[in-house]
């Protein structure tokens, strides 16, 4: 399925590595102008070389004030991918307050904050939009040592539905993609399987008009894991 995002501006968080980086490249190849948001500047520099003309924004999305400063004036955005996350693996009894707060501020609160900024812009411009939250299979099924991470992804399910409900009247759709383990830097910490490309394809489908009647929903990219 060839998707065309010409004339649209997309913002991708966690754009420096893994799924976010490949999503930027796929959107760029499909004609979108892309704002690439990530934390490590070297990643954004190398990404800008691969995709000349993208707009890099270097910020720690776990820092509310810094995020407001970096993205508050980002201007019109049609497509948003909330992808940035950290997977802090600890046994439940060893999770610290810092682990918990960092997990929620990066994985959930930043999606909340960036979506508010972007959705306000969409509403002001009177344009429709599509937002994809990159969640995880762990919103549905548990694995050892991922209590804080899994809690952020479980909460993301209800955030996605709530945003879909509140933003639907403005023609802004909100969905999630819920991958199983994929072999990015984060994925290698846990175990193995599908291709990053499979996840990116589902993100692009939900961003596109091909999924025009889908909102408040989620696509599992789990190689059938939950069916077993
Ligand atoms: P990676 O660790 O490969 O990449 C994450 C990207 O997000 C990096 O560029 C990282 O930058 C950036 N990032 C992390 N924290 C921040 C922050 N505070 N501010 C700005 N940028 C930040 O992760 P994946 O590509 O594997 O994961 C992407 C998404 O997919 C996540 O939401 C994850 O939960 C989800 N997912 C991943 C799975 C997997 O197996 N890989 C499975 C299921 C879901 P930096 O490195 O500089 O910190």
**% pLDDT > 90, the chain:** 89
- Phi first, then psi, for residue 177 (nearest 5°) are -115, 130
Ligand 1 geometric centre to CA of 58 (Å)? 14
Q: Average pLDDT in the 141-150 region?
A: 96
Question: Does the CA dihedral 152-155-161-166 come out positive or negative?
Answer: negative
Could you report the per-residue pLDDT of 7-40, keeping only the tens digit for each?
Answer: 999 999 999 999 999 999 999 999 999 999 999 9
Catalytic residue at 225?
no
Tens digits of residue pLDDT in 162-173? 999 999 999 999
Kindly give the interhelix angle for 147-167 and 97-104, rounded to the nearest 10 degrees. 30
Q: ipTM of this model?
A: 0.99
What is this structure's pTM?
0.96
What is the mean pLDDT of the segment spanning 86-105?
98
- Flag the least confident range among 24-28, 89-93, 189-193: 189-193
pLDDT band at 182 (very low <50, low <70, confident <90, very high): confident
Q: What is the mean pLDDT of the chain?
A: 95
Q: Is 136 in the pocket of ligand 1 (CB under 6 A)?
A: yes
Q: SS in 3 state form for 51-115?
A: CCCCEEEECCCCCHHHHHHHHCCCCCCCEEEECCCCCCCECHHHCCHHHHHHHHHHHHHHHHHHH
> What is the rounded average pLDDT of the residues 133-138?
97
Query: For residue range 197-224, what is the model confidence (pLDDT) as tens digits?
Result: 999 999 999 999 999 999 999 999 998 8
Q: What is the Cα–Cα distance from 159 to 219, expressed in whole angstroms?
A: 15
Ranking 23-32, 36-45, 52-61, 177-186 by mean pLDDT, the lowest is 177-186
Calpha distance 134→125 (Å, rounded): 25
Q: Atom 41 (ligand 1): residue with closest C-alpha? A: 187
Whole-number Å distance, alpha carbon 56 to ligand 1 midpoint, is 16
Measured in whole angstroms, the distance separating CA 159 from the mean position of its chain's CA atoms is 13
pLDDT, one tens digit per residue, over 64-77 is 999 999 999 999 99
**Which of 11, 44, 84 is the pocket-test mutation for ligand 1 (most atoms within 8 Å of CB)?**
84
Ligand 1 pocket member 185 (CB < 6 A): yes
Predicted confidence (pLDDT) at residue 188 exceeds the cutoff of 70: no
Phi–psi pair at 219, nearest 5 degrees: -105, 120
User: In the chain, pLDDT over 70 holds for what percent of residues?
Assistant: 96
pLDDT above 80 for 104: yes
**CA 169 to ligand 1 center in whole angstroms:** 31
Four-residue CA torsion sign, 59, 135, 113, 25 = positive
Contact partners, residue 193, CB within 8 Å, separation at least 6: 180, 181, 182, 183, 223
Any ligand 1 atom below 6 A from CB of 106: yes
- Confidence (pLDDT) at 193: 55
């Amino acid at each position: 399925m060839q998707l065309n995002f010409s004339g649209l501006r997309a913002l991708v968080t966690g754009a420096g590595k893994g799924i976010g980086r490949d999503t930027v490249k796929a959107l760029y190849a499909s004609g979108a102008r892309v704002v690439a948001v990530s934390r490590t500047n070297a990643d954004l520099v190398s990404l800008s070389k691969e995709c000349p003309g993208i707009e890099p924004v270097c910020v720690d999305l776990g820092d509310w004030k810094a995020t407001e400063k970096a993205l508050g004036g980002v201007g019109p955005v049609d497509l948003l991918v909330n992808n940035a996350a950290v997977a802090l693996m600890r046994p439940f009894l060893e999770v610290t307050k810092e682990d918990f707060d960092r997990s929620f501020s990066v994985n959930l609160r930043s999606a909340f904050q960036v979506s508010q900024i972007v959705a306000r812009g969409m509403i002001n411009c009177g344009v429709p939009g599509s937002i994809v939250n990159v969640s995880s299979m762990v919103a549905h099924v548990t694995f050892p040592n991922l209590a804080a991470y899994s809690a952020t992804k479980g909460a993301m399910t209800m955030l996605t539905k709530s945003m879909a409900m509140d933003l639907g009247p403005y023609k802004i759709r909100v969905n999630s993609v819920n991958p199983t383990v994929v072999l990015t830097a984060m994925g290698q910490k846990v175990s193995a399987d599908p291709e990053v490309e499979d996840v990116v394809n589902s993100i692009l489908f939900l961003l596109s008009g091909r999924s025009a009647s889908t909102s408040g929903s989620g696509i599992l990219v789990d190689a059938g894991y939950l069916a077993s």
